[in-house]
Structure 1
């Protein structure tokens, strides 16, 4: 059943009291329950549906879409943990089951985990797998240093925040370089800092090189246009600068240096203000 776990356009073969039966590519039919019908459908119509299995492991079609399809990752909340595995919320009435044997680390209730939706070909049903390392690629030559990419934050460690890039690459944003709130499940713009020999990527939140300071300068200017004056200077603490502007003290000093040289701000003993 190649449609399992995917969004497919299937033709209506017939109607019954239970709903509509749709034609699959293997010649079999799958039921779209009555509750998913609008009442205006007719035989021969094509409907876009998601195919998974019900509580009795029978194929069923629904018009709802989960947060991840087969062979895709998503951050999922834990609904229940049993001795056999964990049930995850993936946006459908039937939770996604992660067998204990497919857990990368013990799953506990109240937390979020990176899970891939997979077809279990032994049982012909969909399961979740949290052993994300099994799906990572190590050839990072497709990335360039300084390249902008979208990151899905999926874990926090003593070093920083782990991020998933393009569904198959693992990256790390070092905690001492983070100056803004980040939470598991966030999708954020990051930049490739370094391609590591172990097949992982070092990432950072700000652009590399000159562009980084240009963006920092623009941020300071936008704040000054509203507040007119910022009580930040060389002796301000890194914590105070981070709280006010969301950047490191080094980034702040280099950015205001740019603004001062271009005569866009005045630097005073107690802070900075717009020039004119």
Structure 2
């Protein structure tokens, strides 16, 4: 069975006047010559992406789309109408977003994070910017502190929503984001907290005691490199700390607190100093 909107391994049957005829053993599919690899002979097994054309026929292409069915992607609007919008899928076939699937009205030239799916009524590919409708809210395959992949989906009053590992959704709070973050960005993140109701808090900085130990080593190395002084203390701004070490102020204070308890540094409002050995 051929999966529409996904990659399929199909065998070449023959070359025709209009293209190359492929099959999965049951269904025959046409691949136009402008969508075909330069070297293709009958009997070859090739991996191709399949979609339905305007006539409802299955077409194969060796072009690589930005997303396949079941995936999220950040796509640009190529055209809009009263009924919906067309997004650039990276191949010679745009994906359609009906009005009902637009969380906010889509504008030509703008880009949005969407989920690509199949219309059950006709098998055509569609997309939706209502991404929260297509994520799971239980059976999480991670724990607090785990590293995850994030696709920033949109900015909200609280922060930035992000798709986690292509399956879940979580939130990066504004007051914990010190870098330039934009919808469409793919970032490495960490699970900060899994709430009882299933909500997930995210962070762009590693968490846990192991990370604090690593940061302590980094700070000691920096202190030795810069004559025993780092001009960042208890009252330094989160932005200054993040700009230099790419960690939150909370993580920085935990690390310098550990160094202070080990009697390796002294801490003041706006700097830390390496304790000189006698």
**Is the TM value for this pair above 0.5?**
yes
Provide the rounded CA distance (Å) in 2 between the counterparts of 1:100 and 1:22: 35
The aligned counterpart of 1:62 is 61
Residue 35 of structure 1 aligns to a residue whose secondary structure is helix
Q: CA deviation at 1:118?
A: 1.3
Calculate the TM-score normalised by the size of structure 1. 0.85
Residues 36 and 237 (structure 1 numbering): CA distance in 2 closer, same or farther, change over 3 Å? closer
The aligned counterpart of 1:10 is 10
> Deviation digits for residues 167-201 of structure 1, max 9, x if unmatched?
33211111111222322222223222222243321
Calculate the TM-score normalised by the size of structure 2. 0.85
Residue 220 of structure 1 aligns to a residue whose secondary structure is helix
The aligned counterpart of 2:92 is 93
Residue 65 of structure 2 aligns to a residue whose secondary structure is coil
Q: CA deviation at 1:43?
A: 0.9
Asked if the contact 1:138–1:198 (Cα under 8 Å) also holds between the matched residues in 2, the reply is no
Asked if the contact 2:2–2:8 (Cα under 8 Å) also holds between the matched residues in 1, the reply is no
Q: CA deviation at 1:12?
A: 0.6
Structure 1: 5+ residue runs without aligned partners?
none
Q: CA deviation at 1:264?
A: 5.5
Q: How many residues align?
A: 275
1:205 aligns with 2:204: yes
Residue 11 of structure 2 aligns to a residue whose secondary structure is strand
Asked if the contact 1:140–1:195 (Cα under 8 Å) also holds between the matched residues in 2, the reply is no
Q: RMSD in angstroms over aligned alpha carbons?
A: 2.8
Residues 38 and 222 (structure 1 numbering): CA distance in 2 closer, same or farther, change over 3 Å? farther
Structure 2: 5+ residue runs without aligned partners?
none
What is the correspondence of 1:138-149 to structure 2 with a 5 Å cutoff? Answer: 138-140=137-139, 142-149=141-148
Residues 117 and 18 (structure 1 numbering): CA distance in 2 closer, same or farther, change over 3 Å? same
